[in-house]
Amino acid sequence: MNRVTMQTVRSPVVIALAVAAFGIAGMLLVDHGPWTKPHLRTAQVNYGTTEAAAQAVGARVTPTPPKPAIEPIAPGPKQAEPPNPVPP
């Protein structure tokens, strides 16, 4: 009979924990390392409104035309009514 020693059972667990620890340390180093600095160059930082940002590059902001209160009836055949789900 083969006896499994505690050393052979423990070694895969130790290897898995070491790989996990190095992986987490690597991710933290890449994401939060000394070369990673926040970049705050958004339009809101430079300009207060969308219109000011557009004017800065020579564009115009035009308002969207309002939708009519009553939509016209769509051309084509009417949709069929759904079947009655309750049997008679």
Domain boundaries, the chain: 1-38
Which of 63, 43, 42, 39 lies closest to 53 in space, CA to CA? Answer: 43
Give the per-residue pLDDT at 6.
Answer: 63
How many other CB atoms are there within 10 angstroms of residue 18's CB atom? 10
Give the per-residue pLDDT at 19.
Answer: 96
7 phi-psi bin (left φ>0, alpha ψ -120 to 50, beta other): alpha
For residues 18 and 78, the model is more confident at: 18
Cα–Cα distance measured from residue 20 to residue 28, given in angstroms and rounded to the nearest whole number: 12
Positive/negative CA dihedral, 21, 22, 24, 28: positive
What is the per-residue pLDDT across 7-55, written as a single tens digit (0 to 9) for each?
666 788 899 999 999 999 988 888 776 666 766 665 556 777 888 888 8
Give the per-residue pLDDT at 61.
Answer: 84
For 62-87, what is the mean pLDDT? 76
Give the per-residue pLDDT at 65.
Answer: 87
